[in-house]
Amino acid sequence: MTISKLAGKSVRNGAKPLSAGGKSPAAGLRQRKRQETRERLARAAMTLFRERGFEATTIEDIAAAADVSRRSFFHYFASKEDVVAAWQENAAAALVAEVVARPRDESMLTAAENAIAAAVRRIDPAEAAAMSRLKRDNPALQARDQLKYEKLERALAEGLSQRARNKSDRLKARLVAMIATGAMRVGGESWIGEGVREKPEAFVKRTFDAIREILK
């Protein structure tokens, strides 16, 4: 039976056609609602973490603030730590997207710098500072933070490798990803240590200026 006959048969039987990509409108709506609930839980958690501290905030508190049940919380996150990890993963994904979008005539180091500067401009400095303090004061979050930077370095290397023309460039992509990830880590710690007095993008520039000075 041809595809056109199958489609005709489905219509005659009263079946609803699927939307582009093979998903029904209802499935798309469910997905959007799930994403909205996940984001609401994450926002509620981050607000409570900032107000009360990580340890003092319970899963029940987060669920109540997001207007869902405790059981529903576990449909989206396995633990409080996973909420923090999700925030970090979203930031990493945004950074890699920025790298891929940079002009092709930029060097890899410049592309990484400009991508990081663009990404941090979209982050609330107060929220970023609060996140850093949460990680600093919680051993479980510190362990996950190490894993986050490892994942970020790999993702950044993949993004930069799209600019590579040969094997030598692919090696450069990995090295620049390592340097840029280290710059984010050390720069972020210094930014917090200095009392968050400087705009994040300005601190990014100062950090990469220091890197270039070292590489001379």
Give me the chain's average pLDDT, please: 81
Write the burial class of residue 1 (CB in 10 Å: 0-12 exposed, 13-18 middle, 19+ buried). Answer: exposed
Express each pLDDT in 106-127 by its tens digit: 999 999 999 988 888 877 777 7
Band the pLDDT of 175: cuts 50, 70, 90.
very high
- The per-residue pLDDT for 176 is 94
pLDDT higher at 216 or 64: 64
- The per-residue pLDDT for 8 is 44
- The per-residue pLDDT for 58 is 95
